[in-house]
Structures are given as C-alpha cells and as structure tokens.
Amino acid sequence: MTAVPDHFRLDGRTAIVTGASRGLGAAMAQALAAAGADLVLVARGSTAALQKSIAATGRRSVAVAADVGDPAAAAQIVAAAYAEFGRADILVNNAGIIRRASLLEFSEADWSDVLRTNLDGAFRLSQRFAVEAVARKRPGKIINIASMLSFQGGVRVASYTASKSALAGLTRAMANELAASGINVNAIAPGYMATDNTAALRADAARNQSILDRIPAGRWGQPEDLAGAVVFLASPASNYIHGITLPVDGGWLAR
C-alpha cells in the first residue's frame, strides 16, 4: 500500500497559478513547489522574489506576464506551460480584483472590470486547460479561488459578490462535465485574509474588530493558511472529490 504522505506529493507535475506575484497566489505557488510541482506564475507584477524562493525548493518556474481578463491570455498561458515543461497538470484560478461602492452608485466599469477578471478569465483559462488535457488524455486538477461571498451577499461589493457566487456555480458545472475525463474541478473559499484586498478593512478599527469578533479562530487568515487546502486539492489525495467549495475561514461560516 502506498504511504499516505505520497498521496499529497506533486513530483513531476506542473501547476499554473494566476495572480501569483503576491498574497494568496504567491503563498499557494510556494506550497505547490514545496510539494514537488514546477510552476507557471501568471502575474502583472514581478515574480522575481517568488521564483528565487521556488528555486530554493529545487523546483523550476517560469513567469508569464498576462492579464487573465484578456481573451487572448488563456491560450498564451497554457502554451507557455507546454513550451517550458511539456505539460500542465494543475490550474489555480486565483487572479481577482475587487471594487467597492454602494449599489446605488456602482459604476458600469466597476461591474464589468471585476466580472472580466474574476469570472471570464477563470472560465477561459479553465476551458483552454481542459481542452488540452482531454486532447492528450491526461488527468488534471482545476482549483478556483472563491470567497466567503460565494455564500454570502456582502455590502458595497456587488460585482465581486456576483463573480465569486458565479465561480462557485461554475466550479460545479465544470466538475459535472470534466469528471469523466479525469479532471477534478473544485474551489477554495478563503475567509477574511490579511492581503492587499482587505487592507482598508483592517485599517478601520471598528470594522476590523467586528470581523475579528465573528471569527471563532480569533484572527485574520494568513496566505499560508491556504497551503494545505491547495496541495490537497491538487494532489492524488483528492482524486474522488469533484465540485466542492472548501471554506478556509477560521470558522466564519460556522458562526
């Protein structure tokens, strides 16, 4: 019988991570490298520090400068994975943006920009990844990064909530169609994480405390808190898991 830890190893696999230059994306990329994967790092910012850290684990990486909301980006990103590593086994759709405004004042641009990045980009890249995997008869793992607002409504974030709720539904829809081809599609829903997207909330003393009061764990999540979840869903240990959205939230939803 194979030892349990081997089920979580990613040796010989290549993972694509979008929004990889910082925050959640960088932490998940580092975790996948530590588990044995080579990385395709998709970002508009610099990935130099992350690539140095990945190299220290003995894994390889390549950076792809791309805006996932660009309809041409999906083909470019997947092609880069095959050109550099000859394969693409794991896709983490992490790139995302948020815009805040009251519903009565929410602009068309703030609506369309968020949907373009958070939902359209994830759909196109997942589709391109799956087309190549099915054509090559290779199994694969697609991991979408959802949100607490895949379950809840939020305030002043209409387009973000719409995109993350839709992404949870898309995860289920893609799982239904791709499971028979050996492709697992699942999602991770981070709770309140200490990243750039939440800097304004953490800077507001009253809002910060109200959030902490709701989290049973008593603290904001750190990007590294997603390491176990992303490695699990990327690994053979999750081969019979399809279509879930896994909260990593310090107990927020249980409250």
Tens of pLDDT, residue by residue over 58-75, are: 999 999 999 999 999 999
Q: What is the mean pLDDT of the chain?
A: 96
User: What pLDDT does 5 receive?
Assistant: 66
Distance CA 166, CA 20 (A): 22
pLDDT tens per residue across span 190-249: 999 999 889 989 999 999 999 999 999 999 999 999 999 999 999 999 999 999 999 999
HSE-up of 6 (CA within 13 Å, CB side)?
3
- Predicted confidence (pLDDT) at residue 2 exceeds the cutoff of 60: no
Q: What is the mean pLDDT of residues 42-50?
A: 97
pLDDT band at 6, cuts 50/70/90?
Answer: confident
Distance CA 211, CA 14 (A): 37
The DSSP secondary structure of 8-24, one letter per residue, reads: G--TT-EEEEESTTSHH
Q: What is the mean pLDDT of residues 99-124?
A: 98
Q: Which domains does the chain have, with CATH numbers?
A: 4-194+223-244 (3.40.50.720)
The fraction of the chain above a pLDDT of 70, given in percent, is 98
Q: ∠ CA 165-181-150 to the nearest 5 degrees? A: 10
Q: What is the mean pLDDT of residues 167-173?
A: 98
Q: What is the mean pLDDT of residues 77-95?
A: 98
Q: What is the mean pLDDT of residues 125-149?
A: 98
User: What pLDDT does 114 receive?
Assistant: 98
- Predicted confidence (pLDDT) at residue 4 exceeds the cutoff of 80: no
pTM passes above 0.95: yes
User: What pLDDT does 8 receive?
Assistant: 96
Active site residue 160: yes
- Predicted confidence (pLDDT) at residue 3 exceeds the cutoff of 90: no
Active-site residue, from 82, 160, 192, 240: 160
Distance CA 27, CA 9 (A): 17
DSSP 43: E
